[in-house]
Amino acid sequence: MGVYKRGRKYWYKIKWTMKAEDGTKEMFLIQRPARTSNRGAAKEVEEEHRRALRLGEIHPLDSWPRPPAPQAPLLREFSERFEEYAREHTKESTANFYKECMRRVLLFVPLADAMLDSITGETITKYTKWRRGGKEGNSLAAINAEMRTLRRLFNLAEEWGIIAKAPAIHELPGQKGRERVISFEEEAAYLHRASGTLRDMAILAVDTGLRPESELFPLEWANVHLGADRESPCGYIHVVQGKTDNAVRNVPLTMRAKMLLETRRGARGCGRYVFDGEGRSGHIMSVQHPHERVIKKATLANGAKLEPFEFYCWRHTFGTRCAESGMDKFTLARLMGHSSPRIAERYYIHVTEPYVTAGVGRFHEYLVSRQIESVPAATDTVQ
């Protein structure tokens, strides 16, 4: 085995043995042209081929030298494939979200006209600096939405074999998240200032944990059941679709939520939507501006202003209150529409100090009621 001359060019021959998972061995005879008339250069080609085989980079039947990788497309070009994928594989609202984020990203020409495989974390940093220097639409929330969109785009490009590895893309710190827990005092201050519809929506959100955009805003009367049964004494809301397959569920109503819905149906009649709107959808699509106005007006009992929070926090507050009440994670996951109890576990980390103290107290009572000797006798020696 080795290099040999055939005509004016050198070839090389390699015998290679591979061991299968079942322990059997398979032998391959590899013969390739080195495409050179220089013996030393041919030997280098053979050694490089052996190195690739030894490292498992190629299979003995693969061609060598490896064909050059196809040139990666520009971000601007690949964004069209990404948006097409989003239209076919995600909800309409998600596809529109990606489309709007990419529209803003493509305004930065150095990024839009860069090849995918040349874009690095440093390139993304230059983009975020450019965005933060703008005058319009440059909030942390908007920029971080673009970061999540770019992360999804590059992960797809890696999954499809267009690039070898997606660049690291990090969201900017400082954005106020959606995991704040609203206290009962803060809730009361908010509801005192909220109008009828916004107040009703906030109460339903914090008493049921419905996802605002996909479950609460488009809620239809046909899916509201106010009759009592064994599992839901105050009735329930049937969620017919949502973020995942697990979103389909029945959510029991609290007495407060039941009374609210009865009053609302009596006052407004029974159209299609519980929260009807004037747009093409027929229902309310956003409460951002009235929600922010209420927060600015709301004042706590001590005179302090209510700290800003996203409307989505009502859902997180519901999950945390369920955890504080002692609800197990499997039941909570079902109520929240999660695919796994592990997702619901994050609500337990917000359990407040009084509930931790109460839990420890119940544990101590449990021990006292069952331990035969709660205090061991003092002894000077060990028998």
DSSP letter string, 261-304: HHHHHHHH---SBTTB-SSTTSB----HHHHHHHHHH-B-TTSP
pLDDT at 19: 84
Q: Say whether both 135 and 213 belong to one domain.
A: no
| 369 within a domain of the structure (yes/no) | no
Instruction: For residue range 146-202, list pLDDT tens digits in order.
Output: 999 999 999 999 989 899 889 989 888 766 666 788 999 999 999 999 988 999 999
Place of tokens 């030393």: 40
Is residue 245 predicted with pLDDT exceeding 80? no
Mean pLDDT across 219-226 = 93
| 59 within a domain of the structure (yes/no) | no
Which residues have CB under 8 Å from 20's CB, separation 6+?
A: 26
Mean pLDDT across 233-241 = 89
Q: What is the DSSP secondary structure assignment for residue 132, as one 8-state letter? A: H
Q: Are 177 and 313 in contact (CB under 8 A)?
A: no
- If one counts every other C-beta atom within 10 angstroms of the C-beta of residue 42, the result is 23
**Neighbouring-strand partners of residue 31:** 13
CA distances from 255 to 52, 225, 262 (A): 69, 13, 11
Put simply, whether the predicted model's pTM sits higher than 0.75 gets the answer: no
What is the spatial distance between Cα 317 and Cα 235, in angstroms, rounded to a whole number?
A: 21
pLDDT at 135: 53
pLDDT at 374: 45
Q: Say whether both 29 and 89 belong to one domain.
A: no
Which residues have CB under 8 Å from 86's CB, separation 6+?
A: 94, 95, 98, 99
What is the spatial distance between Cα 14 and Cα 52, in angstroms, rounded to a whole number?
A: 13
Q: Say whether both 241 and 314 belong to one domain.
A: yes
| 171 within a domain of the structure (yes/no) | no
Conformational region of residue 23, where left means phi above 0, alpha means psi within -120 to 50, and beta covers everything else: left
Final residue of a structural domain among 142, 159, 176: 159
Q: List the structure tokens of 100.
A: 């709007």
| 152 within a domain of the structure (yes/no) | yes
- The residue among 379 and 295 whose pLDDT is bigger is 295
Mean pLDDT across 229-246 = 81
For residue 68, give the amino acid letter: P
| 299 within a domain of the structure (yes/no) | yes
pLDDT at 353: 55
What is the spatial distance between Cα 330 and Cα 137, in angstroms, rounded to a whole number?
A: 40
- Print burial letters for 302-321: b (CB count within 10 Å at least 16), e (below 16): eeeebeebbbbbbbbbbbbb
Is residue 376 predicted with pLDDT exceeding 60? no
Count of alpha carbons within 13 Å of 87, Cβ hemisphere only?
Answer: 8
Helix or strand run (H / E) with residue 193: helix 184-193
CA 322 to chain centre: 22
> By residue range, what is the domain housing residue 44?
2-54
Output phi, psi for 50, to 5 deg: -65, -40
| 115 within a domain of the structure (yes/no) | yes
Conformational region of residue 174, where left means phi above 0, alpha means psi within -120 to 50, and beta covers everything else: left
- The residue among 366 and 323 whose pLDDT is bigger is 323
- The residue among 322 and 291 whose pLDDT is bigger is 291
Is residue 79 predicted with pLDDT exceeding 80? yes
Conformational region of residue 176, where left means phi above 0, alpha means psi within -120 to 50, and beta covers everything else: beta
Q: Say whether both 226 and 339 belong to one domain.
A: yes
Q: Say whether both 130 and 206 belong to one domain.
A: no
Q: Say whether both 251 and 131 belong to one domain.
A: no
For residue 120, give the amino acid letter: T
pLDDT at 375: 46
Instruction: For residue range 177-191, list pLDDT tens digits in order.
Output: 667 889 999 999 999
Q: Say whether both 210 and 303 belong to one domain.
A: yes
- The residue among 124 and 268 whose pLDDT is bigger is 124
Q: Say whether both 322 and 193 belong to one domain.
A: yes
Q: Say whether both 242 and 347 belong to one domain.
A: yes
Q: Say whether both 37 and 92 belong to one domain.
A: no
Instruction: For residue range 103-112, list pLDDT tens digits in order.
Output: 999 999 999 9
Q: Say whether both 233 and 324 belong to one domain.
A: yes
What is the spatial distance between Cα 148 and Cα 101, in angstroms, rounded to a whole number?
A: 9
The CATH number covering residue 342 comes to 1.10.443.10
Count of alpha carbons within 13 Å of 134, Cβ hemisphere only?
Answer: 16
Percent of the chain with pLDDT over 70: 85
Binned at pLDDT 50, 70 and 90, residue 370 comes out as: low
| 291 within a domain of the structure (yes/no) | yes
Helix or strand run (H / E) with residue 331: helix 329-336
For the chain, what is the domain count? 3
Q: Say whether both 194 and 333 belong to one domain.
A: yes
Instruction: For residue range 293-322, list pLDDT tens digits in order.
Output: 999 999 998 989 999 899 999 998 998 888
Place of tokens 């074999």: 161
User: Given the DSSP bridges, would you call strands 9-19 and 2-6 parallel, antiparallel or unpaired?
Assistant: antiparallel
- If one counts every other C-beta atom within 10 angstroms of the C-beta of residue 329, the result is 18
Closest of 249, 221, 218, 257 to residue 336, by C-alpha: 249
| 165 within a domain of the structure (yes/no) | no
